[in-house]
Structure 1
Amino acid sequence: MIHNEYDNEDDKIQDKLNQKTWNEIRTNDSWAIFKIMSEFVNGYESMARIGPCVSIFGSARTKPDNKYYLLAESIAYKISKAGYGVITGGGPGIMEAGNKGAHRGEGTSVGLNIELPFEQHYNPYIDKDKNLNFDYFFVRKVMFVKYSQGFVVMPGGFGTLDEMFEAITLIQTKKIGKFPIILVGSSYWSGLMDWIKNVMIEDHKNANIDDLNLIKIVDTEDEVVAELDRFYKKYNLSPNF
């Protein structure tokens, strides 16, 4: 857990507005570049040895008896049996379920962990040499995107939405390949998709209707595996593991 030197949010804001503190921050920020570089180097070297996988995103707050936890575990199990490695954020909830399913399926199980004040701790189902720890969210997100051959998005909160829209944006802007983005749980995601289609696209023209083709909504583990297999057959590829 990250140490918090502030008693409350007001103290944090006041400290940021203090000129002396701001001067110290500018100096520290310059030296932080080396820490950032070291995280990138370690991440690249570690993930290059592991190879590309399928990322599973979802809430850290999902309990083991929740239907989406059980579904995520089953999805990861079937993904691993189909030959795909699995990457998660390395923490509890859906992330744990993903690693647990991959571990049970004797597949590659990777965790990209980050310390958070309330909910993050690494789960016990990550392969021993494939548990990476990060201090910076943006470095961690690069590892997710660079080494993912597909994105399975389970129900989650703001962090899950952040990771999902990062992948969509990079595909939309052609910064990465058009890998499949699979949202699991039509009852959970349909409202968001309706808003994107009706408000963002049709009412305000802030995206193209074709962008919706980047996203597939499914409800079962078999549909997830079928979407991944369809993608690989289309491009005459095969899973890395």
Structure 2
Amino acid sequence: MKQSRPERRQGQAVVRGRLVPRSTHDQRLLARQGPSDWVHMDPWRVLRIQAEFVEGFGQLAELPQAVTVFGSARTAEGTSDYQTGRALGRALAEAGYAVITGGGPGVMESANRGASEVDGAMSVGLGIELPFEQRMNDYVDLGVEFRYFFVRKTMFVKYSCGFIALPGGFGTLDELFEALTLVQTHKVTSFPVVLMGSEFWGGLLDWIKGSLLGTGKIAPQDLDLISVTDDVHEAVRIIVDADLARSRQREEEMEAAEAQYAEPQ
């Protein structure tokens, strides 16, 4: 039996065995090498970062309306969270949305799997280079690999009209709070953020209300940026309603602009 070798994705490449480096591109980008090394290395690194943006924009430019689903890579098949993710992916696809995940196992796989079960649906995975092996799951129609987290995060936001977070760990929390910050600061508008699993998220919401709102760190209306549900169809309805509201707003803005130009000068 052939002994398995360590493996890592690096952008569009896969390396194994002795070719697997000891650090990731993100680690090397954020490291301080010495008093002058960065002058010679970082400008060239910018070109690679630029190439990742160009590749991501090119691959995803023609996606239909899409929703990003976040959640733990450690969720096992057969668990209630996995089944919820699969039902959610299917329901989003049936509503006409492409489903975007991080492309890995667990909840990501379940949402991609549910979307893949709907004829004509688009199941997308945006992968990331990690120090440990994490292959693109088998239910992704379009998979794009990234070296840098911040490039990948830009793609999640740019090509999604909403985020739905299932139970997850640090990565899920990172993506959740980045989305909330973008909505709170109006960097993105009419962008619903839905938490699925009231029992799992209940403690976090209590802390937000008590420690953040209770001490004036956020405004009362900031709580309205978060929707919580245990129902898959309710989660999809929140996304659809936000889409309709966004469409009505655009129509009203266009009508107002046309009326302004139609007025005699």
> Is residue 136 of structure 2 the alignment partner of residue 122 of structure 1?
yes
Instruction: Give me the TM-score of the superposition, normalised by structure 2.
Output: 0.80
**Residue 207 of structure 1, aligned match among 218, 238, 246:** 218
Q: Is the 8 A contact 1:60 1:120 kept in 2?
A: no
User: Helix, strand or coil: the match of 2:45?
Assistant: helix
> Is residue 75 of structure 2 the alignment partner of residue 52 of structure 1?
no
> Is residue 217 of structure 2 the alignment partner of residue 221 of structure 1?
no
Q: Tell me how far apart the structure 1 counterparts of residues 243 and 230 of structure 2 sit (CA, whole Å).
A: 20
Shift of 1:120: 2.3
Q: Tell me how far apart the structure 2 counterparts of residues 89 and 192 of structure 1 sit (CA, whole Å).
A: 23
User: Helix, strand or coil: the match of 2:161?
Assistant: strand
Pick closer, same or farther for the CA change 1:109–1:224 going to 2, 3 Å.
same
Q: RMSD in angstroms over aligned alpha carbons? A: 2.0
Q: Is the 8 A contact 1:88 1:98 kept in 2?
A: yes
Instruction: Give 5+ residue unaligned stretches, structure 1.
Output: 7-11
Partner of 1:30: 43
Q: Tell me how far apart the structure 2 counterparts of residues 63 and 236 of structure 1 sit (CA, whole Å).
A: 38
> Is residue 242 of structure 2 the alignment partner of residue 231 of structure 1?
yes
Partner of 2:252: none
Instruction: Give me the TM-score of the superposition, normalised by structure 1.
Output: 0.87
Shift of 1:61: 0.9
Partner of 2:170: 158
Greater gyration radius? 2
Q: Tell me how far apart the structure 2 counterparts of residues 201 and 111 of structure 1 sit (CA, whole Å).
A: 35
Q: Is the 8 A contact 2:190 2:246 kept in 1?
A: no
Stretches (4+) displaced over 4 A: none
Q: Tell me how far apart the structure 2 counterparts of residues 108 and 53 of structure 1 sit (CA, whole Å).
A: 9
Shift of 1:190: 0.8
> Is residue 98 of structure 2 the alignment partner of residue 85 of structure 1?
yes
Q: Is the 8 A contact 2:129 2:148 kept in 1?
A: no
Task: Count matched residues.
Answer: 225
Q: Tell me how far apart the structure 2 counterparts of residues 185 and 80 of structure 1 sit (CA, whole Å).
A: 20
Q: Tell me how far apart the structure 1 counterparts of residues 187 and 159 of structure 2 sit (CA, whole Å).
A: 14
Q: Is the 8 A contact 1:60 1:119 kept in 2?
A: no
Q: Is the 8 A contact 1:70 1:97 kept in 2?
A: yes
Amino acid across the alignment from 1:200: L
Trace 1:35-184 onto structure 2 (pairs within 5 A).
35-106=48-119, 107-118=121-132, 120-127=134-141, 130-184=142-196
Instruction: Give CA-to-partner distance per residue, 1:121-160, whole Å, 9 cap, x none.
Output: 1001111xx2101000000000000111111101101111
Aligned sequence identity (%): 43
Instruction: Give 5+ residue unaligned stretches, structure 2.
Output: 1-7, 10-19, 249-265
User: Helix, strand or coil: the match of 1:56?
Assistant: strand
Q: Tell me how far apart the structure 1 counterparts of residues 47 and 33 of structure 2 sit (CA, whole Å).
A: 25
